[in-house]
Structures are given as structure tokens and as C-alpha cells.
Amino acid sequence: MRNRFWPLIVISLSAALANLQALAQIPNPGVDLTQAATPVSATEPAKPVIDTTKPPPPTIADLVLLLRSYQPDLDRTRKVRAQMEAPLPQTEDAADLAIAWYKKAVAAEELQEAEKRTEYLEQALTQTKRAQLAEGSPGGYLRVRQDLAISLWFSKNVAASQDSMLEFVSELEKRDRAAGFLVTSYFHIITNYVHLGDLDNARRMQAKADAFLRNLSSRPQLSLSIPQFSHLLEMSRGFLLSHEGKLDEAERAYLASIRQGEESARLHPLREARGGGTLPLDRVLMSNDSARIFLANVLTQQQRLDEAELLLREVLKSSLVRSGRNAFVTGRALWSLSLVFTNRGRHAEAVVLAEWGDRSLAEAGISETSPARLNGRIILANTLVAAGRAPEAVAVIDGIRSKLVDDARL
């Protein structure tokens, strides 16, 4: 179960850097690049990302009131589903069909309809090979090919995704202009190796990615993109180190990832001014929230529960402001908070937080058979057992089983 459900944040970053390849290729000479930052090394001393001088509130009453103050954007959910189910254009033009299939796949990803996403991407790949689209554009070959490799993680298994991604990277390494796609692919390969238990190959790939990033750092035309690249590779480093049991080093890596993510957000206006396509700011911020959740998990493992709770409260609040109550990061922050309260032995509050996490993803329209929904409901069942509400936990597990054909996913 751990390999299937634990690393949801890693996979949710699948599109986080894809646009940066186009961004890196079309610089505007009129934009001052001197404000770009040098990547922060994970070996620097850890610097707190949140004020820990004040303890967390004594209860979760403030969070419940905050959640109740938000109404789910059900219209947004309906629009996403309509996009996924939209008919194809009546045309034989390969470019139009590639873009149409890709848009359907993007909607399926947001709803975490894994099998449909893979199906749509396979159709898009067939069409984009015949089309004259920019390779890094939505519906273009590189974007579709990478997304398909990532999608296999959900619709098949980690090994299938890894095989596809390694094949893709072999193709990319023959090019000298696909920096963003290579960095993103290295990130997924590293984390996939960790899921597969192959830490030796994960270390080797991390070292290879680090060397590649050092080479990219010497290219002035990529200076605005380097912080986001560094953000992602520091996150993969933290993920690897945490699975090696090196929690102090993992903490430093996640802190470096967060600082680089913040720098990337600061540079966002410059990237937009340069033109040529740029990663939307909300995706940059969502990616950084993912690093914060990973850091909170490490703090929880170290029983630094006040720090973990304060950090997750900030993630929850920023996600609510940015995306509302019915959003993936909102649900994930609530689950992680639930685990913090379980570690505190405050099981009744842990149940409330887990219930809100499940509710947020249900309101987002995310598939009941998606790893995200299943993971959240398993966490909910565990909190119910810990709270002495075993019959309710059994009902939750029975509900999960009724939705699945393959019970091994439990």
C-alpha cells in the first residue's frame, strides 16, 4: 500500500516544470536577468520557514470555522468534467486532434481519472506524431510523451511509469534544448526509484541531475528558470534522504527546496515579461506547498509536532485562499494535520480533520477510485479506529472495497 498511496504530492507535480522548457527557449533580451538567484545548497544550515515562538492554538476550532466559511466552487468542478467529456472536433487535422485529446487528459488529471487520462494521452500521442506542433506546447510531442509516462504511475504501476520515463529520458538526452523536460523527468525517475526500493539507483540519478543542474546554471538564458529547477531537485533529494532515515538532512533539503520555490515565485513577473510561455504562478505556489507538506511529514517523524502543525496550518490557509476548499492541496494538508493530531493522541480532532480532507476532495469531484481519495479514506478509517469508533471504520473500509475491483489496492 505504501508505494501506491504515500507519494501523492510527488506525482501531483507532474506538470510543474513542463512549461519551463518553452520559457527557457525564448528569452527577451530586454529583460534584466541579474535578479535571478543562485541555487541554494542543501548543505546550508537549516533555517526555519515558520515562526515557532508561539505554540499552535489549543484546539482546531479556528480551522473548522475557517473551512465552514468557504463554499466549494462546484461550478469549477462541473466545467472541468465538461472539458473531460467534451466531444472531439469534427476534423482530420492532426494538430487540432492532438490538442483536443490533450485538453481532455488535463481535465482527467484534475479529476484524477487515471485510466481515462492515460487513454486520452495515448490518443494525443498518436496524433501529435503527425502534427506540426511546437514540441513543448500543450498537445506537442514532448509534453504529451512525458505526461503519458507519468500517467502510467496511476493507471498501471510504478514500474511501468519508470520504464516509460527512462525511455523518454534516453531520447531527451540526445537533445541539447529540452532542459525543463529533463529536470522534470530526472525528478520523477529519482522518486520512482525510491518507491521501488532501489535507493542505489536513486542516489546515482540524483547525482546525475545535480551535475546537469550545475551545467544549466552556467547558461545566462536559463537564469530565471534555475530556481524552479533547483526547487524540484532539492525536493527529490529530501524525499530520498527521508527514506534513507536521514531526517536532519532531509529537512535541510526540503528547506532549500522551499527557499528556491519562493525565489521562483519572486521571479515570476520577470519570466512573464520575457514571454514565450511561463509556468502559472499558482502552480509555482502549489509546488512549494508540496515541499512544505513533505517537510511537515519529516517534522512529524521527528515528533516536532508543534512545528509540523504550524507549518501545515499555513499550507492549508494558503491553499484555501488560492484554490478554495475543494482542492487537492487543501485535502492533503488536512490529512497531514490529521496525522499530527494522531501523533499527539488527540484522536477525536484527528477524525474531524480527516473527515474534512475527504470532504474537500469529494467536493472537488475527484474520482472515488483515485489514489488520492483512497489514501484519504484509509487515513480516515485509521483515525476512527484510534478514536475507538471501529464500527464506523469498518463502514469506511467496506465503502472503499465496494468501489474497487482489485482489492490488492487496499
pTM of the complete model beyond 0.85? yes
Sketch the domain layout of the chain as residue ranges.
1-6+59-72+303-410
CB atoms within 10 A of CB 115: 14
Q: Hey, what's the cell of 211?
A: 551535475
Tell me how far apart the alpha carbons of residues 103 and 120 are, in angstroms, rounded to a whole number.
9
CB distance 357 to 334 below 8 Å: yes
pLDDT of residue 231: 97
pLDDT bracket for residue 26 (50, 70, 90): very low
Angle in degrees, 0-180, between the axes of helices 281-301 and 247-266, rounded to the nearest 10 = 160
265 and 285 Cβ atoms separated by less than 8 Å:
yes
Q: How many CB atoms lie within 10 A of CB 167?
A: 12
Confidence of residue 32 (pLDDT cuts 50, 70, 90): very low
Q: For the chain, first and last CA: distance in Å?
A: 6
Among 216, 150, 221, residue whose Cα is nearest residue 184: 150
Mean pLDDT of 224-237: 96
Q: What is the pLDDT of residues 370-410, one digit of tens each?
A: 888 999 999 999 999 999 999 999 999 999 888 886 645 44
% of the chain at pLDDT higher than 70: 86
Residue 225 has pLDDT above 60, yes or no: yes
pLDDT level of residue 47 (50, 70, 90 thresholds): low
pLDDT of residue 408: 54
Q: Among the listed ranges 8-12, 274-278, 374-378, which one has the minimum average pLDDT value?
A: 8-12
Residue with cell 484509509: 378
pLDDT at 259 over 90: yes
- pLDDT 10s digits, 62-112: 999 999 999 999 999 999 999 999 999 999 999 999 999 999 999 999 999
Pick the CATH number of 1-6+59-72+303-410 from 1.25.40.10, 1.10.8.50, 1.10.3470.10, 1.10.10.10: 1.25.40.10
Instruction: Find, among 272, 201, 282, the residue nearest to 236 by Cα.
Output: 201
| 401-403-407 Cα angle (round to 5) | 45
CA distances from 286 to 280, 282, 283 (A): 10, 6, 5
Instruction: Determine contact, residues 231/291, Cβ cutoff 8 Å.
Output: yes
Distances (CA, A) of 86 to 80, 83, 228, 365: 10, 5, 33, 17
